Structure 1
Amino acid sequence: MKNSKGIRKPHVSSSSTSDRRLASASKAASYLHSSIGNSKVTTVNKPTTSTAADWNPKHFRLFVGNLGEDANDALLDNAFKKYESMSKVHVPVDRKTGKNKGYGFVAFADANDYLKAFKEMNGKYIGQHPVHLKRAESSVGKKKHKK
């Protein structure tokens, strides 16, 4: 790789786990920094273990990002159980490694609980990491159009 003056810069690559995780974390952080007010949407096309029929299409869903390796459905459920209308939680797990994918979803039947949870829980620690919340929209209850 050459800079603007034509001087060759060495390409530095590291295969250490911490460097890869740091790079992944910074990429994920830049992706997750939009809020509900920005009207950006995270689309969930294919749930990993739960089926689309498991999620009520009328419920409000939050994307919970930056979950640590210790996160699972029970931890997420425990963190959001104070919101009465919380109806479902899910932390996808990689089929090959058995580890969580670092994000999850929480569904609420009531819009007020959904907004309250977003305001109160965004940036709070769930397990080992502070979480980043976004509005999640899925194809639950929507027909897919074939081209």
Structure 2
Amino acid sequence: MSLKPDIVKKKKIYTSKLSDRRLAGGKRPEVYLHSTKSTGRHLQQTENWNPKHFRLFVGNLGPEATDEMLHGAFSRYQSVSKVNVPVDPKTKKNRGYGFVAFASSEDYLKAFKEMNGKYVGQRPVQLKRAESKVKGK
């Protein structure tokens, strides 16, 4: 009879789904979508947006995404007021995310429900409520 304690192997616990890792190139989407060195430039680009409008963060955009492509994807919602896909000034490539502003809360909510996970270009987009603050006038 052995006096050794039984060795219990614990299962590894993953904090994100494997499908999430495929979408973000092996990284957690939150890290991939929000990693930027020039947050100041982004804030300057969105300062002139109407603070009363409702804004969506559109993540996981492919390298081919442009303002026009994003506007076209959301053009079925009549209250779209502004679209922005930030571009890195050095590489001239987009940063993998964008913003869409809506004048109507109904269109904002409808777009969020209908477009989350839909393909814009060659990737499914991930929508979130835009977090950055816009200065009121």
After TM superposition, the score normalised by the length of structure 2 is 0.71
User: Which residue pairs with 1:7 in the alignment?
Assistant: none
Distance in 2 (CA, whole Å) between partners of 1:127 and 1:91 is 13
Tell me the secondary structure at the aligned position of residue 50 of structure 1.
Answer: helix
* Alignment length (residue pairs): 111
Structure 1: which 5+ residue stretches go unaligned?
Answer: 1-21, 34-43, 143-147
Matches within 5 A, 1:105-116: 105-116=99-110
Q: Could you say if the C-alpha distance between residues 74 and 28 of structure 1 is closer, same or farther in structure 2, counting changes exceeding 3 Å?
A: farther
> Does the CA contact (< 8 Å) of 1:68 and 1:127 recur in 2?
yes
8 Å contact kept, 2:85–2:99: yes
Counterpart contact for 1:64–1:106, Cα < 8 Å: yes
Question: Alpha carbons of 1:24 and 1:117: their partners in 2 closer, same or farther (altered >3 Å)?
Answer: closer
Query: 1:138 offset after TM fit, Å?
Result: 2.1
Give 3-state SS (helix, strand or coil) of 1:78's partner.
helix
Matched with 1:25 is 25
Listed as ranges, the gaps of 5+ residues in structure 2 are 1-21, 34-38
1:139 aligns with 2:98: no
Tell me the secondary structure at the aligned position of residue 83 of structure 1.
coil
Alpha-carbon distance between aligned partners in 2 of 1:136 and 1:69, rounded to the nearest angstrom: 21
The corresponding residue for 2:45 is: 50
Larger Rg: 2
- Per-residue deviation, 1:50: 2.6
Cα RMSD (Å):
2.7
Cα distance per residue 1:59-88 (max 9 Å; x no partner): 000000000011000000000011011100
Q: Aligned residues: percent identity? A: 60
Select the residue among 65, 68, 74 that pairs with 2:68: 74
